[in-house]
Amino acid sequence: MKKKKFDFGPYLYLLPAFIIILVFRLIPIVLSFIVSFFEWTVTGAGDFIGFDNYVHMMHDKEFWQSLVNTFYLVIFVVPISLVLSLFFANLLNGIKKLKSFFRSVYFVPTVTSMVAISIVWKIIFNQQSGLANYFLEKIGLDPLGWLAESRGIFQLLFGSMGIEIPTWAGGPSLALFSIIIVTIWKGLGYNTIIYLAGLQNIPNVYYEAADIDGAGKIKQFFRITWPLISPTTYYVLMMTTIVTFQVFSQIYLMTGPPVGGPLGTTKVIVYFLFDKGFGESNNLSYASAIALVLFAIILGLTMLQKKLEKKVHY
Amino acid sequence: MNFKKIITYFILGFCGLVMVIPFAWMLTTSVKSQLEVNKGNVGFSFFEESDIYTENGKDYYATIVKEDADSSYVHLFDVEMNRIRSYAKVPNTAIRHEKKVKLHWENFALAFNKVPFGRYFLNTIIVSCCVVIGVLITGSLASYAFATMKFKGQDFIFYLFISMMMVPQPVYLIPSYVLLNHLGWIDTYQALIVPWIANIFTIFLLRQQFKTIPRDLFDAAEIDGCSRFKILWKIVLPLSKSVIATAAIFGFIGSWNSFMWPLIMTDSPELRVLQVGLSYFSQEASTQTSLLMAASTFSILPLVILFVIAQKQIIASFASSGLKG
């Protein structure tokens, strides 16, 4: 029997995509490790400096502050977004009329650009001519500083009740909290759609059986919906976490000047690395090291979530 | 309709309102005069209460600074140009007080012409269209190989691609800049297009679709003497129209809205895409709220129109990104 000729066909079909992904994804990822170990600016490579960038990072106050700010963002955005989107998806799943209308309304922020949205929200939060303070005034409350307020939200909250709390327990600044509101608002529609798709996959017979057994709606939610929706919850949790760690545009457009203000309370990790790499110092190698640390954090959290998922997966 | 349904609709309606209020406010502010905004009329009312001074048949808004018996010192505000004209002393009889609804549509033209938004739109359209076409070509070829052919290293390459999807953009941003700089591509269209003409998610999506096409169809076509490429072109692609549309929409929206990449990879004003141009405009015109809102409005308009036309498809395509593999 004649040996079949080697078939180049499949590789030929793969080639265009492969070249692009090789050159613009795989090589850069490998390159990022290399860059982080050398002195590197726009003019090119300099001396090998080993772990200097990483050591420097550990002593860089700005790095730690932006890391804390990023964690605040994730800790607030992820759970709130998850609960709200699951709530809306449940409401939407229960109605027939106007369902697609409401779905679209919630979804509009997702398709519109973060840049335009940030510009709009920045003015909404403007102290003098913004809508946020206009509403507060209408309901008889004092205007707030929003994006200009560097005090923590817990500090402000307890302060208004006359309780002094230490600065470290003050929570994210009101400025960062304004960013949190925008980030939740922007991603809510997407998460709702994902949840809605998940809910529609749950066979109705479970609910019918539960109805016969006389289980109430709340019990049905915790005994049927929540367990069966857990793969979707896992996905939403993971995606929202990953995306929130990479928040950039809202910070770049809404805060400052200088960006990340007031008092650096809205400086997040991706803006920090952008500033180091393409700002005045133009230190591409330090920026690369920061990016890799960010990657390690995201990877670590993803793996942690995967472990948790295995435990709760039904 | 029972009580529970009413509550559900009420909550959905109220929260839906909260979701769209920023857009509604953007629209109402975009047709206000800057003077109104500065005066503190920041709600949803279109009523303008103002003192008007007419000179040579042209109306100016007058802010009275000091009023005397028969003449006043006023700041004059040029409505058409949306800017302060001068400080003047004018007779009281030339000033009239009026309160009426006024919509300043000219804000859109003012904002559009203040910086070359036409150019920005053109750049964005060029980049987005090239990216979508590229993504569809490389995507269908690669997915066709993955879904219908058997070859060495198939699984390895596929999982390599998928794992690359997990890497966040900031990680390859800096080395990509270094790379593009070496290629001499910084500040060119290539830098905005070429790195994005292969999309792993698209490959994944199309592969799933191509796999659902029954193998018998291929076998029959092969017996009829169809080449591989002809099978892709004549059978596989026509059968996958809706998934291809999904991938195209997804790619278009992503490309249209991308900001960080073009911000870093381009420098000259001629190459600014819409999002970058808008961000520069927001710095230049930071005090001109109504112009900013007008610019935001027309920059999101194309996608909102696309969304209104193809909402089912768009929502379905975003929902499909949540499919578990």
ipTM: 0.90
Find the closest chain A residue to B44 by CA distance: A131
* CA B228/CA A312 separation, integer angstroms: 45
H/E segment holding residue B91: strand B83-91
Pairwise CB contact (< 8 Å): A232 & B322 = yes
The number of C-alpha atoms within 13 Å of A129 and in the hemisphere containing its C-beta is 22
Q: Is B161 touching A (CB cutoff 8 A)?
A: yes
DSSP B260-276: HHHHHH--SGGG--HHH
**Residue from A36, A93, A112, A276 to probe the interface with B (highest B Cβ count within 10 Å):** A112
Name the token pair of B87: 């400080």
Reported in sequence order, the residue ranges of chain A that DSSP labels E, i.e. its strands, are 38-41, 44-48
What SS3 state is found at B84?
A: strand
Q: Residues in chain A, how many?
A: 314
What are the tens digits of pLDDT across the range B186-241? 999 999 999 999 999 899 989 988 988 888 888 888 888 888 888 889 888 998 99
- Residue A261: pLDDT band with limits 50, 70, 90: confident
Distance of CA B262 to the CA centre of its chain: 14
Q: Are B123 and B272 in contact (CB under 8 A)?
A: yes
Q: Is B278 touching A (CB cutoff 8 A)?
A: yes
What's chain A's average pLDDT?
90
H/E segment holding residue B65: strand B58-67
Q: What percent of chain A has pLDDT over 90?
A: 55
Chain B positions in Cβ-Cβ contact with residue A92 (cut-off 8 Å): 12
**Rounded alpha-carbon distances, angstroms, from residue B59 to A144, B51, B81, B96:** 37, 10, 12, 10
Dihedral sign (CA A184, A189, A193, A196): positive
What are the tens digits of pLDDT across the range A274-286? 999 998 888 899 9
Tell me the mean pLDDT in the region A54-65.
94
**Residue from B127, B171, B205, B293 to probe the interface with A (highest A Cβ count within 10 Å):** B171
Ramachandran assignment for B217, one of left (phi > 0), alpha (psi -120 to 50 degrees), beta (any other): alpha
Helices B289-309 and B106-114 sit at what angle, rounded to 10 degrees? 100
Q: A141 to chain B, minimum CA–CA distance in Å?
A: 16
Tell me the mean pLDDT in the region A49-58.
91
Rg, chain A, Cα only: 24
What are the tens digits of pLDDT across the range B76-93? 877 666 677 777 788 877
Tell me the mean pLDDT in the region A32-43.
86
* CA A198/CA A235 separation, integer angstroms: 11
What are the tens digits of pLDDT across the range B247-273? 898 899 999 999 999 999 999 999 999
DSSP B162-222: HHHHTS-HHHHHHHHHHHHHHHT-TTSHHHHHGGGS--HHHHHHHHHHHHTS-HHHHHHHH
Tell me the mean pLDDT in the region A55-71.
94
- Residue B135: closest CA among B214, B243, B63: B243
The per-residue pLDDT for A124 is: 94
Rg, chain B, Cα only: 28
